[in-house]
Amino acid sequence: MIDRRNIKRIYLKTARKIKDFLLSDKSREFLIFLFFFFIASGFWLLQTLNNDYETEFSIPVRLKGVPNNIVITSEPPSELHIRVKDKGTVLLNYMLGKSFFPITLDFSDYKGKDNHVRIYSSQFEKRLLNQLNVSTKLLSVKPDTLEYIYSTGDSKLVPVKLQGTVSAGRQYYISDTICTPDSVLAYAPAGVLDTITIAYTQKVKFEDVSDTLKRQIPLLAQKGVKFVPASVEMIFPVDIYTEKTVEVPLRGVNFPAGKVLRAFPSKVNVTFQVGLSHFRQITASDFHINVSYEELLKLGSDKYTVKLRSVPKGVNQIRISPEQVDFLIEQVSPDYGN
């Protein structure tokens, strides 16, 4: 336990040292120095603030009075950036104490051609100047034109298309691309709406994906068009490759009556890569090696290079063993196979 008498002794000793310092000649000189330093700094600040400066402020923009049957497809800018010039004292007052009122646009006050409204700075400059001191000079307004586009409820359903690349890591592959929703409503003026056929997503790039990926991806903005919803959920299921081998027979096609194909061997091994989730679904019956009579006649030899005529979806890195087989066209009696 801390001795209270020790604490009291330390406190009294420290207080005595501070008192001795403040009453000393050195302390008196230091306090006089601080006094004149603050006076000089005050004069310097007043002199500095009396000069003219330029600075920039932001003023909010609001659009009101939009009827229920109107859809704003391209919003006006959310704020204006004004550059002003005045004495430092006035600008400091703007920064510390003055808040600017929004520039409010009433939908009914403005009409535009083809549902495209443009409001130039000269039309709202007076409202800006009313919020500034008489001495303040307005140098610039950016943007100098407020514009927005609206639709009178015209819309149509358009499909969503992914922009970008999604690549899986080694021994993995993207087994599917699922988009929810796969179509969105596009609102736009009639002339613009006719040109919209697809809603593209913003460009994405996902690399070395090794597990199912789920992302909310915004749609690419188009001037004068509003998509509802404005983003879609993309799911990229990932599967791992595994190897499988099946035995596939060679079948002769278009052979005339009385002739059949004899291949040695009559079956070949087809080895391929397939996703683990589809391993059991892919069987030998999904592969077809059809050897046509006309093709064999053109060879001029008794060796045939095996070719797959059909390959199931999701299969790649196919190898055939053996790649070539010996064959002959055998003449058989009419009752062969009965």
Look at the domain 242-331 and name its fold.
RNA Polymerase Alpha Subunit; Chain A, domain 2 (2.170.120)
Look at the domain 155-236 and name its fold.
RNA Polymerase Alpha Subunit; Chain A, domain 2 (2.170.120)
Look at the domain 52-153 and name its fold.
RNA Polymerase Alpha Subunit; Chain A, domain 2 (2.170.120)
Amino acid of residue 169: G
Sign of CA dihedral 93, 95, 99, 100: positive
How many CA atoms lie less than 13 Å away from 110 in the CB half-sphere? 24
Residue 169 has what pLDDT? 87
Q: Give the predicted TM-score (pTM) of the model.
A: 0.62
* 266 in Cβ contact with 250 (< 8 Å): yes
Give the CA distances from residue 195 to residues 56, 107, 235, 270, in Å, rounded to whole numbers and listed in that order: 40, 26, 28, 49
Residue 233 has what pLDDT? 96
Tell me how far apart the 2 most distant CA atoms of the chain are, in Å.
134
Residue 218 has what pLDDT? 95
**Residue corresponding to tokens 């059809």:** 290
* 198 in Cβ contact with 298 (< 8 Å): no
Residue 1 has what pLDDT? 46
DSSP 334: T
Helix axes 25-49, 88-96, angle to 10 degrees: 100
Residue 57 has what pLDDT? 86
Interacting residues of 204 by C-beta distance below 8 A, sequence separation 6+: 162, 163, 164, 165, 166, 215, 217, 234
Q: How does DSSP assign 257-280, residue by residue?
A: TTEEEEEESSEEEEEEEEEGGGTT
Which residues in the chain land under pLDDT 70? Answer: 1-8, 11-12, 15, 17-50, 97-98, 333-338
Cα Rg of the chain (Å, integer)? 41
Residue 46 has what pLDDT? 61
Kindly give the residue spans of alpha helices, DSSP state H, lying in the chain: 4-22, 25-49, 88-96, 121-129, 190-193, 293-299
Residue 334 has what pLDDT? 59
